Amino acid sequence: MRNMIPGWIRVPVLFLIVVGITEYFIDSGKQFAFIEYPILQLVLLVALLFLISAEIIVDAVENTMFKTLAPDAKERYMLEKQKRAEKYSLNRWFKQMTYAQPEERDLELDHNYDGIKELDNKLPPWWLYSFYLTIIFAFGYMAYYHIFDGDTQLTEFEKEMASAQIAVEEYKKNAPDLVDAESVVVLTDAADIEKGNALYQINCMACHAADGGGGIGPNLTDELWILGGGIKNIFHTISEGGRAGKGMIAWKSTLSPSEIQQVSSYILTLEGTTPANPKVAEGDVWSEE
Ligand code: HEC
* 272 CB-near residues (< 8 Å, 6+ apart): 221, 223
Annotated domain spans of the chain: 7-88, 112-147, 190-285
Best mutation site among 225, 237, 246, 252 for ligand 1, i.e. most ligand atoms within 8 A of its Cβ?
A: 237
- Give me the pLDDT at residue 197, please: 95
* 92 CB-near residues (< 8 Å, 6+ apart): 86
Q: How far is CA 130 from the centre of its chain?
A: 31
- Give me the pLDDT at residue 1, please: 44
For the chain, report the end-to-end CA distance as a whole number of angstroms: 87
248 C-alpha to ligand 1 centroid (Å): 5
Are 224 and 284 a contacting pair, CB within 8 Å?
Answer: yes
Phi and psi at 112, nearest 5°, equal: -145, 105
Atom of ligand 1 nearest to the CA of 283: 26
**Could you tell me the CA-to-CA distances from 246 to 52, 187, 217, 218 in Å, in that order?**
86, 28, 8, 10
Closest to 210 measured CA to CA, from 256, 257, 266: 266
**Eight-class DSSP state of 153:** H
181 C-alpha to ligand 1 centroid (Å): 16
154 membership: H or E segment, kind and range: helix 153-174
Global confidence as pTM: 0.51
113 membership: H or E segment, kind and range: strand 112-113
78 C-alpha to ligand 1 centroid (Å): 102
d(CA 2, CA 67): 20
Are 126 and 97 a contacting pair, CB within 8 Å?
Answer: yes
218 C-alpha to ligand 1 centroid (Å): 7
Residues with CB under 6 A from ligand 1: 200, 203-204, 206-208, 216-218, 225-227, 234, 237-238, 242-243, 246-248, 251, 263, 267, 283
**Per-run averaged pLDDT (10 residues), the chain, 289 residues:** 71 92 85 86 94 92 89 88 80 82 69 79 88 96 90 92 92 75 88 94 93 92 91 94 92 91 94 89 82
Output the CATH code of domain 190-285: 1.10.760.10
- Give me the pLDDT at residue 192, please: 92
Are 255 and 196 a contacting pair, CB within 8 Å?
Answer: no
